[in-house]
Structure 1
């Protein structure tokens, strides 16, 4: 357990070991969440990445992509479509 003091301006210093565990560097932004009277601090970059992964997962499920091979197949199909569109416009 780490202890931090709240300043008159409401600021705290996140202890070094906690910053290290959360990979929080100078200038990073953090998210404060309150759950059941407890404060949870998360690195905002990690939260954004997790949200993006969740969004991609939902889209993958919607498209019926079950594994990496399905994703590779879709990427090839999209590339072929883009190539055909690009070259059809230049003919």
Structure 2
């Protein structure tokens, strides 16, 4: 599931996570999700019993997700993935520190 999905925010600040994403993330009614600011956006993950998610857990989920998306796009060589990661790091650096 590498597609971007839009969700509309209600007047109360609520949004609905689309069914396809809920199923992929194994989120059901009554579950909690963790929201963490990340690079100008929000990283959403299913919350464990503890509400606090460590940076290591966030990174682990990102690495797994990136690997799956890369594989789906036919990127199988580590050097190709490394080049993409370096390009993204440079873009993020430029956005934050603009030189």
TM-score, structure 1 as length reference: 0.49
Task: Mark the structure with the bigger radius of gyration.
Answer: 1
Higher relative contact order (CA 8 A, sep 6+): 2
- Give 1 or 2: higher helix fraction: 1
